[in-house]
Amino acid sequence: MRAFSLAEGGSIPSAGSISAFPKELRGTVNTRIIFQVEIVGSLVLFALIATWYWAPRLARYSLADALIPLLLLHLTRTLGLTVLVSTVVDPSLPRDFAVPAGYGDLIAAGLALLSIVALKTRWRFASTVVWIFSLEGIADLVNAFVQGSRIELPRFHLGVAWYIFTLLVPALLVTHFMIAARLVQHARQRNAEGVAVTGPRAG
In whole angstroms, what is the distance from residue 17 CA to residue 28 CA?
Answer: 14
Q: Do the beta carbons of residue 70 and residue 46 sit within 8 Å?
A: no
Q: What is the mean pLDDT of residues 4-19?
A: 45
Give the model's pLDDT for residue 191: 82
The Cα 73–Cα 174 span in angstroms is: 11
Q: Which residues contact 38 (CB under 8 A, 6 or more apart)?
A: 166, 167
**Confidence class for position 203, pLDDT limits 50, 70, 90:** very low
Count CA atoms within 13 Å of residue 130 on its CB side.
32
Share of the chain above pLDDT 70, in %: 80
Alpha helices in the chain (DSSP H): 23-26, 31-49, 55-58, 63-73, 95-120, 126-150, 161-163, 169-198
Whether pLDDT at 55 is above 60: yes
- Examine the pLDDT at 4 and tell me if it is beyond 70: no
Tell me how far apart the terminal alpha carbons of the chain are, to the nearest angstrom: 81
- How does DSSP classify residue 76? G
Cβ within 8 Å of residue 81, ≥6 positions away: 102, 103, 105, 106
Asked whether 91 and 157 are in contact (CB, 8 A), the reply is no
Question: What is the tens place of the pLDDT at every residue in 57-111?
Answer: 999 999 999 999 999 999 999 999 999 999 999 999 999 999 999 999 999 999 9
Distance CA 150, CA 56 (A): 38
If we measure between CA atoms, which residue out of 151, 143, 154, 134 comes closest to residue 39? 154
Give 126-158 pLDDT, tens digit per residue: 999 999 999 999 999 999 999 999 999 999 999
Residue 192: what pLDDT?
75
* C-beta separation of 106 from 133 below 8 A: no
pLDDT in tens, 160-202: 999 999 999 999 999 999 999 999 999 998 787 666 555 555 4
Alpha-carbon distance of 177 to 183, in angstroms, equals 10
Kindly report which listed range (8-22, 41-55, 128-142, 163-177) carries the lowest average pLDDT score.
8-22
d(CA 105, CA 99): 10
Which residues are CB-contacts of 189 (< 8 A; sequence separation ≥ 6)? none
Q: Say yes or no to pLDDT of 115 above 90.
A: yes
**Contact at 8 Å (CB) between 82 and 88?**
yes
On the question of pLDDT at 13 being above 60, the answer is: no
